[in-house]
Amino acid sequence: MIEIRDLHKSFGPLQVLKGVSLTVEPGKVLVIIGPSGSGKTTLLRCFNLLEQPDRGSLTLGDMKLEFTAGGKIPQRSVLALRQRTGMVFQSYNLFPHMTALGNVMEGQVTVQKRSKEEARKRAVELLTKVGLADKADAYPHQLSGGQQQRVAIARAMAVEPEVLLFDEPTSALDPELVGEVLKVIKQLASEGMTMVIVTHEMKFAADVADQIILMDGGVILEQGRPEQVLEHTTNPRALQFLNRISGEEI
What's the rounded Cα separation, in Å, for the pair 16 and 18? 7
Enter the DSSP assignment of 98: S
Residue 249 pLDDT > 60, yes or no? no
Residue 248 pLDDT: 62
Instruction: To the nearest 10°, report the CA torsion of 94, 166, 125, 174.
Output: -60
Strands 2-11 and 14-24: antiparallel
pTM of the model: 0.93
Task: Express each pLDDT in 69-125 by its tens digit.
Answer: 888 899 999 999 998 999 999 888 899 999 999 999 999 999 888 999 999 999 999
Q: Which run of H or E residues covers position 163?
A: strand 163-167
CATH 3.40.50.300 segments of the chain: 2-84+163-249
Tell me what pLDDT residue 250 has: 38
Residue 164 to residue 111: CA distance in whole angstroms: 17
Please classify residue 70 by burial: count the beta carbons closer than 10 Å to its beta carbon, then call 0-12 exposed, 13-18 middle and 19+ buried: exposed
Q: What is the SS3 assignment for 64?
A: strand
The β-bridge relationship of strands 55-60 and 163-167 is unpaired
If you average pLDDT over every residue of the chain, what do you get?
94
- Fold of the domain spanning 2-84+163-249: Rossmann fold (3.40.50)
Residues 126-153: pLDDT tens digits?
Answer: 999 999 999 999 999 999 999 999 999 9
